Amino acid sequence: MTAHQNLTPAPATEWSLLSCIAFRFVFTYTLFFLGTFSAFFVPLSVPLAAVSQAVWGALIPWVAEHILHVPPPPLVSDGDGLGQWIQFGGCVALATLATLIWSVAVWRRKNYAALHSWLRVILRYALGIAMVTYGVFKIFHLQMLPPNLAKLVQPFGDSSPTSLLWIFMGSSAAYSAFTGAIEMLGGVLLFNRRTTALGALISLGSLAHVVALNLSYDVSVKIWSINLLALSFVLVAPDLRRLINVLVLNLPSKPVTFPSLFRRAKHNRIAFCIGMACLVITFAFRVLGIANGLGQAYGRTPTPVYGIYEVESFTFNGVLLPPLLTDAQRWRMVIIERSGMASIHLMNDDILDYLTSVETEEATVTFVANPDTTVTTAGATRLAYNPHLIDVRFEQAIEADPDAGQTLAFSRPADDTLVLTGQWKSDSISVQLKRIDESSFLLLNGGFHWIQYSPFFR
């Protein structure tokens, strides 16, 4: 086939009125959604993100106050905050309005074949970037991390459904890598138009699983994951009849033609080069993020006092306190994560969360009450592994209240023994602690067995 023949568009069939209306809505909603929620191509998304932030920064407070009659929510949240639901509803409303105006203005239009080609390109790369990004983070075990120390001693029934899901995924690097490889495969296949149908199918199955987990375990990324699932279905939809013929009805399928975005080959080559350059830059930023996570956060040497400790003796103002379960002053256990985030378990089962800063040369550790009560030590999966974030939060807490810190001297009479002494608030304390080897927990040392006569439940 000659280049001229390849670029000559085939006669487009006439679409039904319903198909035209549906396309108008999908097209406009996709643009509104990606402009609002998605970090698309990095070089091209910067001005778009700035405009989107300005628009929603004005709309969200107005909708909250005048329509919902609630205080303005934060513009950014780590999940499905009220602001994000307003944005989602706004995208639907704006797309509906745009569809109505579009339909009235050009109601005689017979098809949108050319615009549909552009929509598929946008969806392929937007969904592909998202799938590859999530896949790579799972392959390197950076999204759902292994259980942190506080989770190992937390009663099973006190875990939230989301935390339970994170522990399930994070406890197996192999399973995390497997699910990540599936997501990455689907995303990579979307970057080639000839493998788009296969990539969209793989992405559809993978995202259906993700959405089911998010809904079942109350994970706070429902808006994002459901929309990604819908976008993958939009990519599959044009090939649905062909797939049913081949996979279900055992009928032959006609070959697919791939219309070009432009009539001239030169313009198509320029568009391809621009797209690839943007794609490379986008993934370069992702790689830098992964390298930062592996090198500066999760891979850093843990703080010197890291560990799970049981309190062997607790001296309070010179008096040795017995381990009474009703005592609200005596400590029972101290847990210090590798990042420096810490929790103190009292004898009466109260748990106090802290941020710490360790001075190795002076042999001191400073405790500052965690100001973020929504992120407890047991639930701080990422913070428990990220010393940099704890350093930042610790400094912010000290700046807000210079007298907030409680500094204790520490010593190690033995490798598994830690002694803390000093002034704790207005009292003098001396605490001797025995470290518990975290590798003794069955969740971490259960291992893998080919020969099993019965399931191992405990």
Q: Where are the domains of the chain?
A: 1-110, 112-261, 307-442
The answer to whether 408 and 420 are in contact (CB under 8 A) is yes
The CA-based angle 213-216-222, given to 5 degrees, is 65
Q: Which helix (H) or strand (E) holds 341?
A: strand 341-346
Backbone angles phi, psi at 220, to 5 degrees: -85, 45
pLDDT digits (tens, 9 = 90+) for 430-456: 999 999 998 888 888 877 888 888 888
Binning pLDDT at 50, 70 and 90, where does residue 40 land?
Answer: low
Tokens (6 digits) for 100? 């109505």
**Residue that the structure tokens 């989107």 belong to:** 52
Q: What angle do CA 443, 160, 351 make, to 5 degrees?
A: 85
441, two tokens: 């927990």
Band the pLDDT of 176: cuts 50, 70, 90.
Answer: very high
How many CB atoms neighbour CB 383 within 10 A? 23
The yes-or-no verdict on residue 42 having pLDDT over 70 is no
What is this structure's pTM?
A: 0.85
262-278 pLDDT, tens per residue?
Answer: 777 777 788 778 777 77
Q: How far apart are CA 422 and CA 444, in angstroms?
A: 35
pLDDT at residue number 5: 40
Please tell me whether residue 83 adopts helix, strand or coil conformation: helix
Q: Residue 420: beta bridge partners? A: 410, 431
Q: Are 366 and 406 in contact (CB under 8 A)?
A: yes
Q: CB–CB of 121/268 below 8 Å? A: no
Helix (H) / strand (E) element for 413: namely: strand 406-414
Using DSSP's 3-state secondary structure scheme, residue 388 falls into: helix
Pairing of strands 331-336, 351-359: unpaired
Binned at pLDDT 50, 70 and 90, residue 348 comes out as very high
CA nearest to 305, candidates 392, 367, 394: 367
Hey, what amino acid is at 372? D
The CATH architecture assigned to 307-442 reads Beta Barrel (2.40)
Question: What is the model's pLDDT at position 1?
Answer: 40
392 near 408, Cβ under 8 Å? no
Q: Is 201 left (phi over 0), alpha (psi -120 to 50) or beta?
A: alpha
Side-chain half-sphere exposure of 212, counting CA atoms within 13 A: 6
Cα–Cα distance for residue pair 99/109, rounded to 1 Å: 13
- State the Cα torsion 425-427-432-436 to the nearest 10°: -30
How far apart CA 191 and CA 200 sit, in angstroms, is 10
Q: What's the confidence (pLDDT) of residue 6? A: 44
Q: Over 60: is that where the pLDDT of 257 sits?
A: yes
Q: Is the pLDDT of residue 212 over 90?
A: yes
Main-chain phi, psi angles of 348, to 5 degrees? -85, 15
- Mean pLDDT value of segment 154-163: 89
- What is the pLDDT at residue 294? 64
